[in-house]
Homo-oligomer: A and B are copies of this chain.
Amino acid sequence: MIKNDIFLVLEQKGNFSRTKAVLLVETILKSMKEALLRGEKIEIRGFGSFRVVPKKSGYGRDIRRNKQIPIAGGKRVKFKPGQDFKVKIKKLSVE
């Protein structure tokens, strides 16, 4: 699924024009990124939550030279799917 698929869904199921659909999606994505960049968490019940958490990891690898590379700490974004969603995804293995 890519952006275009979302536009199509909005055009078909939501009856929105392509222009509106694009405006919509971009607006939502932009506001979500801004929220996370402010350090806020995003919590959408039934779907999942995004949180900005500190990161300490300290080593990477230079493939060419096959040697370790120090990595500075910082923050990262973590997504956690909702409970119901998570359970359903987990069961995909059954198929």
Contact = CB atoms under 8 A, between A and B. Distances in A.
Interface of A: 1-3, 5-6, 9-10, 13-14, 16, 23-25, 27-29, 31-33, 35-37, 39-48, 50, 52, 54-55, 73-79, 81, 85-86, 88-93
A33 B91 CA distance: 14
A17 to B, nearest CB: 12
Contact of A93 (B43, B74, B79): B74
* Chain B CB within 10 Å, residue with most, of A6, A28, A41: A28
Given A13-B27, A14-B27, A33-B85, 5 more contacts: A1-B42, A6-B31, A13-B31, A37-B89, A50-B79
Contacts of A79: 50, 77-79
B33 A10 contact: no
A75 B93 contact: yes
A90 B27 CA distance: 23
